[in-house]
Structures are given as C-alpha cells and as structure tokens.
Structure 1
C-alpha cells in the first residue's frame, strides 16, 4: 500500500482522538493492489512518464499450440515487467506476460497463461461472437496505479483493538465508525473501478476471501466491453506463486 494512504488514515485517527494502536490495527488490515486503468483516468502526477502496463480487448497473442474455445474473448494481457515492483503482496511473474481470457457469463469459463519473455506467440483468430455476448472491441492500453484495498465488508468487530477500545462506550464506538467511513472515502478513487491486480476482492455478494482464496485479478466488464458483470480470478497464494494458473477459479458477479 502507498505511504500516502497509510498516513491519511493515521491522520484521520489522530483527528478523531483514537489511540494509535487502534488506527494502526486498521492500517495493518488493508492490502495493496495495482489498478489498471485508461490513460485519462490516471492521477495527474503519473501521466507524464506513463508506460502501458497491459493491453485490453482485441485479439490475444498466445504461444502456438495453446487452444482456447473460439467463443471465449480476450480480456487483458498484462506486461509483468511494467507492474511496479514491491507493491503487491501476491507473487506476480517479474517478466513476460499474463494473458486472461474469459467468458463473462454465469458459465465462469476462463483461462490464464503466463507467457515468459521471448516466447514465440501467434495472434489468436477473432472469437466467434455470440448473439447475446459482448461485441468485439479494438485493443487499447492500460496503465498501472498502485492502490490500497479494504475488506469488502469492514466492521468494527473485525479489529480486536477497536473492540477493546469501544466496548461499552457509544462515543468511542462512533469515533471508530467515523474512522472506517474515512477509510472507505479515502480508498474510493476514480481509477479504482478498473481492472485490479491483487488486494481484497471487490465482490459484494460472495467475497472469495470467505472461502480461503486470494484475488489474482478482477476484471469489470465495463473496463473492457459494455456491461455490468465482474470476472474474478482467484486461488491460493501457493497456486498463484507457483504459476499453477490452470487451477485458478473464475467467478462472475453481476
């Protein structure tokens, strides 16, 4: 997570008269991520030297012999070397590309591949569009922005230090609730509605962390095509670190 986000939350805690151990407990609960967004959504300070970190839509470029059903669209290919180092708390390859192709429906069908640097690739033929599926879009670049995430449903009871501090005191409980409102507000950024690498899942109905998984990448349909669904690619930390992408779970929330 960025130092700026940590300090913003600590300042909010001090402004509300909360003990530092309580505020620090909330800071420790947060997890870093990297957002992938369009150039126009970038923070102004990152625009000058911005380097594309991913390519969304368009055809996939895969090694010869890799077969994916023709109706499964290419969502995004991530340039691993262009992702800021030392930010994520999941293991992303240091080089090469990660290609994600997924059927954005309740079929939950998807494919993830790590393509090492220097690997020969061929352009995958255009997919066979379904009548009710997303239409084809031209490829476009995305840019990386380090970010911070909180659990999808953050409660006072999730933080033992906050429970001990607020127990039996309505005024203290309100101060903690106000801090959580500030955390929500400070982490709600315009580029945070794009593709997200790592961090907490933004799922509203069934957070994947509840079943012991961690988020690899979440891809809102609106960030690639027109639509309201979100594809979540997740697995265990070991599966992600060992590049066992064929074992990852693809889920969809609408």
Structure 2
C-alpha cells in the first residue's frame, strides 16, 4: 500500500496507543490495512460504475437468477485503488437480492470482456418472486452513475473468529488485542474514511461487526471455504423495509485473478 494511504491511519494509531495497546500490536494491525474504492452517487468526477441501467449481456450468457444491482467499469478504476487482481478492462455486473437466506448465496457476478457483443435482457429476475415485497424492493434499487468518493484505507471491522467448541470464539490469529483495536478503529473511522453507496475491495462490515462478513459469505461455498477469500464489493442498499442491510460479494483471490466469477458467493446481513 502507498505510504500516503498508511499515513491516513495516524488518528487510529494515536487512539490505539492512548488505549494502552502495545505499539507492536498496533503496527501489526496497521500492517493488514487494505486499500479500497468507495463510490458515491452524489460526487463530480469520472463515472466508474452505474447503479441499474440497461442489462446488457453476451448472447450465450444465461439469464441471471437475481436482480441487477450495478455494473463496474474496470478500466475506469484508478490503478492501485484496491489490492484486488481485477480485470484491467471490461465490465463486472453485480446481481443480488437483499434478503438473508443462510443456506444459499444470494447473488452472482457476471464479467463481460471489453468488446464482447451484448444484447439487452429483461432485469426482472424471478428467483425470489414468492417473497411478499420482492417487487417493491427491486423497484427501490438505486439508479444512476457512480463516481469515486474516495480512495480509502480499510482496517478490519471484526475482531473474532468462530470456534467449533467452547469458548466458541477467539481473537483474530496473531492479534491478541483485536477487540480493543477494533474499538479504536470504530472510534476514529469517520475521521479517516469517506462513506459511499458501493465499496470495492477492502474489509467488509455489517451491523454485528464481531465476525468477518467475508468468512460468513465464504461459508456458503459447497466445499470448505479455506483461506484468502476477499471482499469484491459491498452494497448498503438503504431501502425502506431493508434498513441495516449489507450485501457482500466475496471470492477467492486466485479465482478472481483467473476470472472464475462463477465462484463468487454473496452473503447478506439483515436483522429484520
């Protein structure tokens, strides 16, 4: 990560040290910081993504099972704005429905290479049409261009890992003060980062905060989740009736580099 990005964590470092956390542990925590792009609907600047709009897919791509959320123009993202091995060009299309089914991934990602021939498709997926407010929620999905609100630096929003037996949870491996470090980060985050409607890369968060949302979404994979799952994107819908919801598209770093977007898992946090 660029030194100027790490410099932004100065207020966090000061707060963590003031809480009595040993300096070595603070620096070790800063060492796992990740860059991320936060996108906004209300900023001037180059458009890098779009909420909604026409759904354009290659002819041989099956109709998606989930509603269309957003498209990301990979070539428009500044170099180094994330640490993800994203495609250098083409479009990433994000699909999801903000409802927390714990037994199944709640979305998908389609990658469209630059120059691919596409056709317009209907956006009205019916996978969860039996949900009473399904259509109302879909109609409330945001629409419009997205620009980069900030190139942010991101620290974990979680402090525990789950264990199969008592005591059922433990601090993050290698970080015995993870709970205190998280508290310091949450105290100073607003002074360091800029919020937005869609986040690409970085660490995921939800209202629960204690367990990594990426790990929870990765657990939806048929095989053992393993390691090196990363947050591809997070969306906080802000839709009436789905307040407090966050949607997480996650993928193994190797699968992302190999463009295996069929391996994406999508987790949704919602506490109705």
Q: Normalising by the residue count of structure 2, what TM-score does the alignment of the two structures yield?
A: 0.70
| Matched-pair contact (CA < 8 Å) for 1:56–1:141 | yes
Equivalent position of 2:143 in the other structure = 139
Counting matched residue pairs gives 231
Name which one, 1 or 2, has greater alpha-carbon Rg. 1
Q: Which has the higher helix share?
A: 1
State the distance in 2 between where 1:214 and 1:37 align: 22
| Matched-pair contact (CA < 8 Å) for 1:53–1:83 | yes
| Matched-pair contact (CA < 8 Å) for 1:21–1:161 | no
| Matched-pair contact (CA < 8 Å) for 1:37–1:191 | no
Query: Which has the larger displacement, 230-239 or 138-147?
Result: 138-147
State the distance in 2 between where 1:209 and 1:113 align: 22
Aligned match for 1:209, one of 212, 215, 229: 215
CA offsets, 1:22-77, max 9 Å, x none?
Answer: 4322211322221122125xxxxxx4xx11110002332212232224x6321010
Structure 1 residue matching 2:111: 3-state secondary structure? strand
State the distance in 2 between where 1:63 and 1:125 align: 13
State the distance in 1 between where 2:233 and 2:14 align: 30
| Matched-pair contact (CA < 8 Å) for 1:77–1:97 | yes
Query: Alignment RMSD, CA only?
Result: 3.2
Structure 2: segments with no counterpart, 5+ residues: 161-169, 217-224
Equivalent position of 2:119 in the other structure = 122
Does 1:51 pair with 2:41? Answer: no
Structure 1 residue matching 2:29: 3-state secondary structure? helix
State the distance in 2 between where 1:153 and 1:180 align: 7
Structure 1: segments with no counterpart, 5+ residues: 41-46, 164-175
State the distance in 1 between where 2:194 and 2:175 align: 31
Q: Normalising by the residue count of structure 1, what TM-score does the alignment of the two structures yield?
A: 0.75
Structure 2 residue matching 1:222: 3-state secondary structure? coil
Q: Residues 123 and 138 from structure 1, CA distance in 2 versus in 1: closer, same or farther, beyond 3 angstroms?
A: farther
CA offsets, 1:94-151, max 9 Å, x none?
Answer: 1111011223333534221221222222222241674521243573011122122222
| Matched-pair contact (CA < 8 Å) for 1:26–1:159 | no
Query: Which has the larger displacement, 129-138 or 194-203?
Result: 129-138
Q: Residues 101 and 13 from structure 1, CA distance in 2 versus in 1: closer, same or farther, beyond 3 angstroms?
A: closer
